[in-house]
Amino acid sequence: MAHLTCTGGAFGGGERSAQSIMEYHVPATIFPVETHYVALGHLHRRQQIPAACPVHYSGSPYAIDFGEQNNTHVVCLVEASSGTPAKITDIPVTAGRRLRTVEGTVAQLTGDPASYGDDYLRLVVTQPGYAGMRDDLYEALPNALRILIHPDHADTGATAGISVDQPVKTPAQLFTDYCHSVGVSDDRVTALFNQLHDDLTRSTPRP
């Protein structure tokens, strides 16, 4: 049993990427063939890892992040006996409230609140923001947990306090953003960061 990232495993959507790279990776070859069952945690997607013995992530039992809203959530029933590999049966988890992302204008999003049931919502607004839009949406859709302005409609001023979806940034881009935030502008610092990052991530055999 371990809490780690196994090389080749698929992310489920709710993991912290900074805790799922480099030293957090282990190859499936570390698990011996005589092991009946290897139970892994950390990756939130239900999956089996190809290995010499049964290696499984049960995944998160319910969605804890909107990136997991389309995952299949299960509990793994494991039956193990001496001399045979474990038998694993997936039991679907059907209880709990779903996370759902819905997209549209304010009028479209609020037109039929009952259709969302008791799902928790992430709203992606496909129109420019306006003063009071956030309050209008939360009043009409009290189950909304997050409001985003679609990048095609991002504006200034009126969208204050409302997130705009952005692509995932590379470590170099994140470091550049940090330097700007603290008033550092030095190409030598950026070059040193890139060199250190390359040294850490370059595939080299360990002694």
pLDDT (tens digit, 9 = 90+) per residue, 86-143? 899 999 998 888 899 999 999 999 999 999 999 999 999 998 888 888 899 999 999 9
* Tally of domains within the chain: 3
Report the DSSP beta bridge partners of residue 88.
78
Give the residue from 34, 67, 92 where a domain finishes.
Answer: 92
Strands 38-41 and 47-49: unpaired
> pTM for the complete prediction?
0.60
Q: Same structural domain for residues 116 and 183? A: no
- Give percent of the chain above pLDDT 70: 85
**pLDDT for position 118:** 93
Residues 135 and 112 in one domain: yes
Q: Are residues 16 and 34 in the same domain?
A: yes
Distance of alpha carbon 152 from its chain centroid, rounded?
Answer: 23
DSSP assignment of 19-51, as one string? GSSGGGEE-GGGS-TT-S-EEEES--S-EEE-S
Same domain assignment for residues 69 and 119? no
> Residue 157: which domain range?
99-164
Domain for residue 39, yes or no?
yes
Residues 136 and 182 in one domain: no
33 shares its domain with 67: yes
Same domain membership, residue 155 and residue 178: no
Using CB atoms within 10 A of its CB, is residue 59 exposed (0-12), middle (13-18) or buried (19+)?
A: buried
Say whether both 84 and 106 belong to one domain.
Answer: no
For residues 179 and 105, state if they share a domain: no
Last residue of a domain, one of 45, 74, 92: 92
Residues with Cβ within 8 Å of residue 164, at least 6 apart in sequence: 148, 149, 151, 154
Q: Is 128 found in the same domain as 50?
A: no
For residue 207, being part of any structural domain is answered with no
Q: Are residues 112 and 67 in the same domain?
A: no
In a domain, 85, yes or no: yes
> For position 207, what pLDDT does the model report?
45
